[in-house]
Amino acid sequence: MAKKKENDSAGNIRIQYYRSSIGYSKKQKEIVRSLGITKLNQTVEREDTPSMRGIVAKVPHLLRIVE
């Protein structure tokens, strides 16, 4: 089973919410919320797809990809 777990993490990216969305548009706040992020400095793991990277690229001043 450990081997399967390693393969799962290889196809994932970790996204960190590192800067508050206060003062930014409602659309940008919705993007952060759509990732399942609710708190500042929270890190979530999502599948590494071009669409997910595109979502993060929409708000690079709020989110970062943690290696």
CATH number of the domain where residue 6 is located: 3.30.1390.20
3 state SS of 13: strand
Q: Is the pLDDT score of 3 beyond 90?
A: no
- pLDDT at res. 7: 53
**Strand pairing partners for 15?**
44, 65
**Domain span at 12:** 2-66
pLDDT tens-digit map of 5-42: 555 567 999 999 999 999 999 999 999 999 999 999 99
- pLDDT at res. 16: 98
- pLDDT at res. 60: 97
Work out how many domains the chain is built from and give that number: 1
Q: What is the pTM of this model?
A: 0.81
Distances (CA, A) of 19 to 2, 9, 32, 37, 40: 34, 25, 11, 12, 7
- pLDDT at res. 53: 96
Question: Which residue pairs, CB below 8 angstroms and at least 24 apart, start in 48-53?
Answer: 48/11, 48/12, 48/13, 52/13, 53/13
